[in-house]
Chains A and B, each alone.
Chain A
Amino acid sequence: NAGVTQTPKFQVLKTGQSMTLQCAQDMNHNSMYWYRQDPGMGLRLIYYSASEGTTDKGEVPNGYNVSRLNKREFSLRLESAAPSQTSVYFCASSDQQGSVLWGTEAFFGQGTRLTVV
């Protein structure tokens, strides 16, 4: 009963290094999301993918790229990490049931705690 799996759980990077955060869901959901959470800021949407083959920018996309590899997987890449990207990153997925007018529950991974020094 995995749900949404994120890797790694913790990471320390030096400024300028690159890395990819991996996310996979086994619930056959169409929509996947990447959020970052900073103290006092709540969760801010970085990128989302409404369905396989599509990605769109969220509120804070600068410095990030994403790939929706297939329906299960949605990765987040930091090409050149900066200290401002120190945060907790959450991947989430959800699905649409019936009418598109009603959203459905989003399921989250356990988060990746990233520190950029």
Chain B
Amino acid sequence: RKEVEQDPGPFNVPEGATVAFNCTYSNSASQSFFWYRQDCRKEPKLLMSVYSSGNEDGRFTAQLNRASQYISLLIRDSKLSDSATYLCVVNPLSGGYNKLIFGAGTRLAVHP
């Protein structure tokens, strides 16, 4: 079983739609969680961290469910510019140090 699993998609949605991605992780001791965004043929970049209480950044909301070991990302009012691959990232903190484990990514395509 992969340490971090995501639905690969693609999710094809019209502009203005609300779309949600889920991600599950296997290491129950994992402490920190992130969503990264990757545009085609570019490097990944941090979209937002995921906090235990859930957090929101504009149109983006991230939530963490430790009991079920999953993380979610909700995008409201989708824009064409949101088209990208969204990577779920878990830091299992091996030996007390950062060790970032990436999911395979969920591809989002927003169309007019």
Contact = CB atoms under 8 A, between A and B. Distances in A.
Interface of A: 31, 33, 35, 40-45, 48, 50-51, 56, 58-59, 90, 92, 94, 96, 100-106, 108-111
A102 B102 contact: no
A19 to B, nearest CB: 20
B102 A31 contact: no
A92 B89 CA distance: 14
Contact of B97 (A44, A96, A105, A110): A96
B44 A100 contact: no
A42 B32 contact: no
A90 B98 contact: no
Contacts of B94: 56
B25 interface: no
Contact of B98 (A40, A42, A96): A96
A89 to B, nearest CB: 11
Contacts of A40: 8, 104
Given A43-B87, A102-B31, A103-B32, A51 B97 contact: yes
A56 B97 CA distance: 11
A43 B89 CA distance: 10
Given A108-B43, A108-B45, A110-B43, A42 B104 contact: yes
B32 A31 contact: no
A104 B97 CA distance: 11
Nearest to B6: A42
Contacts of A56: 94
Residue from B34, B99, B100 having most chain A Cβ neighbours under 10 A = B100
Contacts of A106: 44, 46, 89, 98, 100
A44 B103 CA distance: 9
Interface in B70-105: 87, 89, 91, 93-105
Contact of B44 (A43, A45, A58): A43
21 contacts: A35-B102, A41-B104, A42-B87, A42-B102, A42-B103, A44-B102, A48-B99, A50-B98, A51-B97, A58-B99, A59-B101, A90-B43, A96-B97, A96-B98, A102-B31, A103-B31, A103-B93, A103-B100, A109-B43, A110-B43, A111-B43
